[in-house]
Amino acid sequence: MDAIVIGGGIGGLSFALALHQAGIRCRVYESTPVYKPLGVGLNLLPHAVKELASLGLLDRLMSAGVETREICFYTRHGQLVDREARGKHAGYDWPQISIHRADLHSILVDAVVERLGADALVMGHRCVAAEQNEAAVTAHFQDSSKEALSPARGTILVACDGIHSVVRSQIHSVDTQLRFHDSTQYRGVTRARPFLSAASMVYIGTSTTAKLVVYPIRNNIDGSGLQLINWVAEISKPNDRIRDWNRAAHIDEFIDRVSAWTFDWLDVPSLLRAADTVLEYPLADQDPLPSWTHGRITLLGDAAHPMLPRGSNGAAQAIIDGTTLARLLANADDPRHALKAYEAARLDATSKIIHMNRTRYPDAILRVVEERTADQPFERLDEFISQDELMQWRSTYQNVAGFSQAKVNEPSVNGR
């Protein structure tokens, strides 16, 4: 079997490593001529770390990132609503890891080149079409000048080509347009002193006025104890619908929304103003597709299920897509049956996350508290919300997103 993997992002590279581990040949075709360090931070939940650990990457991840100890929820007045242990600190067999996207991507690229060989990663090849017959599938490519390149022929094709997937638009007659929401995220990283536990992931406020997510992604970056702190500010406002992870913005576009957020444990305005670069990203997802698979072609990651960047699920679900599909292919008599089995295993699961990320994402509990307190400081939290309700809110999201402790700690397929 020979697999054509379209897209050398997190999903495509994880899938390639899983295929190699399963003894299946593959080649990854990436549209970018040269990889450059891009993006900011992300959080790898325990179920995603479990899958990457099964690919032999845990030590590299732990060395590059920060093992998340806890997740905390604060009102915009700086009052604690909930604190929840995470990863091994919560009894999981696997850690939760906060890491720079570029560091994670570099780890995956290095592993692919080491294990599959440099020729397994083909750069500067943008897929423009895919066709198939009873025996094989063929991918057609162009370079950055739109000149035709030699096609690739394989047993199956898996499109990991992201939110603007060419393959998705080709195999689907249904509307595959992105669904934009009236919110914009601003992202950045700042070199700063540790705050709280030095391994805390913190949510502050709601998008009614402003919401901030902040957590460290690299430790002791300069020998003096400074960390690289990732932050994401979500602001409710119309956006221009241009979905690009790397659009530059200016701090003055939103800093007034958080100018009063100076707490004894974190000076938010100072943290944000000290960022080298600020990136802007309009919130968008896509209604779930009715299917991902067409014969010898299927979709993976954002190509299959673009979801709102809430709950740390985008990269995680792409990684789980890849390892799930690779294991099914390894045991299939007909790869087309494996592609359909993969769709059956993953489409409904990711569809539920898409819907939940619109309404009941983890930090939406702060919206509940804001409404019940009329957005005023409280003296006793339990007058407005009980510990049982907080725990129920946590467990509901964990169960839908697939990272409840009981599920993650189950033995993996083939003992992995």
d(CA 220, CA 192): 10
CATH architecture of 2-47+101-178+286-359: 3-Layer(bba) Sandwich (3.50)
pLDDT means over runs of 10, the chain (416 residues): 96 98 97 85 96 98 98 97 96 97 96 97 97 96 96 98 92 77 91 97 93 96 94 85 74 94 97 93 90 97 93 92 98 96 97 93 94 96 96 93 92 58
The pLDDT assigned to 136 comes to 97
d(CA 115, CA 108): 11
pTM score, whole prediction? 0.94
Q: Is residue 231 helix, strand or coil?
A: strand
Q: How many angstroms separate the Cα of 26 from the Cα of each of 19, 55, 155, 319, 371?
A: 7, 16, 10, 17, 52
| Domain coordinates in residue numbering, the chain | 2-47+101-178+286-359
Give the single-character DSSP code of 74. E
The pLDDT assigned to 416 comes to 44
**Alpha carbon 307 to chain centroid, angstroms:** 9
Q: How many angstroms separate the Cα of 341 from the Cα of each of 78, 165, 326, 403?
A: 47, 22, 11, 21
The pLDDT assigned to 415 comes to 42
